[in-house]
Amino acid sequence: LAKTTQPISMDSYEGQEVNITCSHNNIATNDYITWYQQFPSQGPRFIIQGYKTKVTNEVASLFIPADRKSSTLSLPRVSLSDTAVYYCLVGERKSYNTDKLIFGTGTRLQVFP
Amino acid sequence: ETGVTQSPTHLIKTRGQQVTLRCSSQSGHNTVSWYQQALGQGPQFIFQYYREEENGRGNFPPRFSGLQFPNYSSELNVNALELDDSALYLCASTFQSAAQRDYEQYFGPGTRLTVT
């Protein structure tokens, strides 16, 4: 499984765009990139998943360059409620067995007023 | 909320004791995974159950065991508790079949276990 590296922490202010980059130099051909968000005393929550190029949903965008050795989670116009830990995960989506999720230590995002 | 519930929310045990944690999957989900999350760390995969059978295991000793019931609820059992077992225990459910998979996993709020 590909190891991921992300910043330990980031600070931002309300209304700003936040970009969190994750490095995964050893990503395999069949690996997907997934981001989860976790608030204190809660379980992680799926944000977005992608394989290449750009994926966008109502919460975030995920940018993946052609070499797929990194990815960037983009949160537009953050609010105080976006203060959380963000995890980047890389793993294979097997056809029959749900892949176990390998979490790193994540990026702790603090949003200030 | 995800629809995944866990009980109890908090638990204090003594070293050497045994503990059982419970998880109720989101409606329609047939797969449950358990994770251990130590303070300041990301969740670590313990094992997964699919159709009442263990379907993958992480790097945890045999004293961590589980069950999945016909209604897809699940239990995590830990024997001979050690101080390092103190953590937040999370369960996550999802749906899979030979024809399709839901790639998201839906986590419960966790059970905070303290071993003294």
**Does the beta carbon of B103 lie under 8 angstroms from any beta carbon of chain A?**
yes
CB of B76 within 8 A of CB of B23? Answer: yes
Would you state the pLDDT for residue A8?
95
- How does DSSP assign B49-87, residue by residue? EETTEEEEE-S--TTEEEEE-TTS-EEEEE-S--GGG-E
Mind listing the pLDDT tens digit for each residue in B21-52? Answer: 999 998 888 889 999 999 989 999 999 998 88
Mind listing the pLDDT tens digit for each residue in A13-70? Answer: 999 999 999 999 988 888 889 999 999 889 999 999 999 999 999 999 999 999 999 9
Binned at pLDDT 50, 70 and 90, residue B96 comes out as: confident
Alpha-carbon A18 to chain mean position: 12
**Does the beta carbon of B68 lie under 8 angstroms from any beta carbon of chain A?**
no
Asked if residue A96 has pLDDT above 50, the reply is: no
What is the token pair recorded at A38?
């976790």
Q: Region B58-87: what's the mean pLDDT?
A: 95
Q: Which is more confidently placed, A1 or B90?
A: B90
Residue carrying the six token digits 């109720």: B24
- Rounded to a whole number of angstroms, the distance from the CA of A66 to the nearest CA of chain B is 23
The B residues from 1 to 40 touching A (CB cutoff 8 Å) are 2, 4, 31, 33, 35, 40
Would you state the pLDDT for residue B100?
58
CA pair distance B36, B13, nearest whole angstrom:
16
Q: Which is more confidently placed, A75 or B98?
A: A75
